[in-house]
Amino acid sequence: MLQKLLLTGKRISLWTPTHDDLPILYNLIYGVENPEWKKYDAPYYSLEFCTFEKFSKRMEERMNVTDVPSQMIIEHQGQIIGMVSYYWEDERTR
């Protein structure tokens, strides 16, 4: 498992997700029908509902990487406000 990473700036902090963060993240993503963040997300991906169990399993798999984290929590003024992530389309470009 990747060691917890914390980056702190003047306005926000970023950290690798933990098990304790999952309920909050799930609620931010799936807690409302048309979340505000989706307006700024990749337009070619639709948001399909996911159970908490499936979401947790998927997040656990991502949290178990041993190199660079693909997702980080965004915190502002003591509150989790979102998540930032990256991915590669083609394995050959790594």
| SS3 of residue 22 by DSSP | helix
Distance linking the first and last C-alpha atoms of the chain: 21
Residue 77, pLDDT score: 94
Whether residue 23 has pLDDT greater than 80: yes
Residue 8 makes CB contacts below 8 A (sequence gap 6+) with 14
Q: Is residue 20 part of a domain?
A: yes
The pLDDT of residue 27: 93
Please indicate, yes or no, if residue 94 is contained in any of the structural domains. no
**17 is in which domain, residue-wise?**
7-86
pLDDT beyond 60 at 32: yes
92: in domain: no
Mean pLDDT, the chain, as a whole number? 84
Which amino acid is it at 27? N
Whether residue 93 is contained in a domain is answered as no
The count of structural domains within the chain is: 1
